[in-house]
A and B are shown apart, each in its own frame.
Chain A
C-alpha cells in the first residue's frame, strides 16, 4: 500500500477549533476521519473528539492488518461513536448531547469505502474530475442538487448550516455509504469540513488537486477558503491522499507500508488515548439452548395469563 497523505486543521477566524481530524494506517489498510463539532451546541469540539478518537481506536482494534468488511466496520464505528457521545452527555448530565458531523474513509486493496453523517465532505478525484462525492445531509444542499435554488442562493440561505443527520444529539444518525470505489494510480481522495468547501466555488477543489500534489494543494486550498471566508471564516480542516498504488514512482514524502509489521499502526491525531483491551471469550449458546429458552418462556406466558 502506497500513498501520499497530508492533513491540516485551522481555526479560521473562530476563537476555538471544533474540527477534529485523524488518519491511521496499518500495513494494509488506511483510515481517514474528519469531524466538525457543531457550534451552537454545547461541547461541539468534545463530540468531534469523541467521534474521531472512537473511530480511530476501533480501526486499530480491527485492522489486523485489514478489515474484514470495511462497510460493516464503518457502520458499527459511526453508530457506536454516536452512542459514545450520548453516553458522555448522559454521564455529565448535559441538557443536550453534543453533536458533530463525521466523514470517514477506509482504503484497502486499492478500494475506497466511505460513510458520512452531516455536511463534511469526501471527494474522489481522477485527473482533475470528481468521480464520486458525498451528498450533504442538508436540505438546502439537496435543493441545490434538485435545481430548486441556485448555488449562489444557497450561500445566503438562512438554513444553509442546518443538517438533518449528525452523530450525537437526540436523533439516531442517518449514515450514508459510498459504493466500493476502486482507485487508480494518481487518484486523490479528499475529506474536508464545510469551512473548506463552503466558501469555494464548485470547480476550485477538483482543479486545485488536478496535479495530485496534495502536499502543496491542501494548504493552498485552505488559504483560499480562509481568505474567502472573510472575517468570520469557519474552522477549516482537510485530509487528502494521492493513491500511489504499486506502480507509481517513489514520490517524495510518500508512504510505503510494505515494510511495516502486520500489527503496527501509524496514527496522526491530537491527544490520542490508548485502545482498550479486547473482550473475554463468551460461553456459547447453542440452537437447542435457544429453543429451550423460548419454550420455557412461552409456557410461562400461558401459565400466568389470566
Chain B
C-alpha cells in the first residue's frame, strides 16, 4: 500500500493510556485528536508529525521517515518541546492547560485539556462583518488576562491570531497553540518551515537578528490585528509589507459608522508599526478595552521613523 498523506491514527486506537476518538485538526506540523483517558475524561492530544518529514500510511501507527530526514525530524521535536515547556508553567483559565507529555510511535505527544467550542477564526467566518463591539471587548479583555499570565512568566506567545484563539462554549476565550517557538528555531530548515499566517505577526518578528526587540508589545500587535480581523473578516496587510508601503486602512477610517471611535483607536494603537507607539503592556491595553471613555494616547515618534522601522526588519 503506498503512503497516503497525513493519515491520522484511527478511532479506537489505544495510544499510551488514551483512547483516540477522532481527529480534530491536521496541520502541517501536527495532528490534534480528541481522545479519552482512563477515567473517560476527554482530552486533546497533539501529535508531532510534520508531513514534510514523516508520513503515516493507512493502517500503520509508525510513520515512515526517510533516512535523510531523521535528523531534521528530531530537530523539529525540539521545537515541539518548546511548546510543552511554555505551557507547562502556566495554569490559567484563559490559557490551554497541558496535562501530560509522552513518547510513542517514534514521535511525541502533548496531552491538553479538551475545550469545547470553536476557534475565533471559525466564528469570524460564520459571522462575517457582523461582529459587535461588545463581543470584541468582552472576548479580548478576558483573553488578555491569559496573555498577562503568559507575560508574567517571561514568555511571549508570538503566534496570536484568530485561529489560535479558542472560544469555549461558556464564552471564555482560551489561548491555544504555543507552537511559535519553532518559528525562531527553524528558519534555516525549509522542511520545518511553519505555515503561519502573515498579517498577525508584528514587524519586529520578521527580523531574526533583532530578537531583543520582541516584548509584550509584539503580542499586542497580534492582538490588535486579531481585533482588526474581527471587523474586516479578513487578515490585515502583513507587517513586513506595511513597512515597505503601508496600505492598511486605519480602523478609524474604515468603520466609523460601525464601532465607537475609542474602540477603533484602540485597534489602531495596537497596530502601530513602531513598537514604542503601541500599548507597552497588556494591562495598558486592558484598561483601554474596559473603559469606553478612556481616551487613547496618540504617541508619534517623528523623524526617520520609517527608516528606523525598516531597519528593524532588514
Contacts and interface: CB of A to CB of B under 8 A. Distances in A.
Interface of A: 68-69, 71-72, 75-76, 78-80, 83, 86-87, 90-91, 93, 95, 113, 172-173, 175, 177-180, 276, 279-285, 290-291, 293-294, 296-298, 300-301, 304-306
B61 interface: no
Given A69-B66, A71-B2, A281-B71, A301 B52 contact: no
Interface of B: 2-6, 26, 28, 51-52, 55, 64, 66-68, 71-72, 74-75, 77-78, 81, 84-85, 88-91, 97-103, 108, 188-191, 195, 197-199, 234-238
Given A93-B238, A300-B85, A304-B88, A76 B188 contact: no
Contacts, number: 114
Nearest to B153: A304
A20 B101 CA distance: 45
B307 to A, nearest CB: 24
Given A72-B55, A290-B108, 16 more contacts: A75-B4, A75-B55, A80-B52, A93-B235, A93-B238, A177-B2, A179-B2, A282-B189, A284-B74, A290-B103, A294-B103, A296-B85, A297-B85, A301-B99, A301-B101, A305-B99
Q: Which 9 A-B pairs have the closest CB atoms?
A: A300-B88, A177-B2, A285-B74, A71-B2, A297-B84, A282-B75, A301-B88, A293-B81, A297-B101
A172 B66 CA distance: 22
B190 to A, nearest CB: 6
Nearest to B248: A93
B171 to A, nearest CB: 22
B249 to A, nearest CB: 13
Contact of A294 (B55, B67, B102, B191): B102
A276 B193 CA distance: 14
B2 A304 contact: no
A83 B195 contact: yes
B89 A304 contact: yes
Given A71-B2, A281-B71, A291 B103 contact: yes
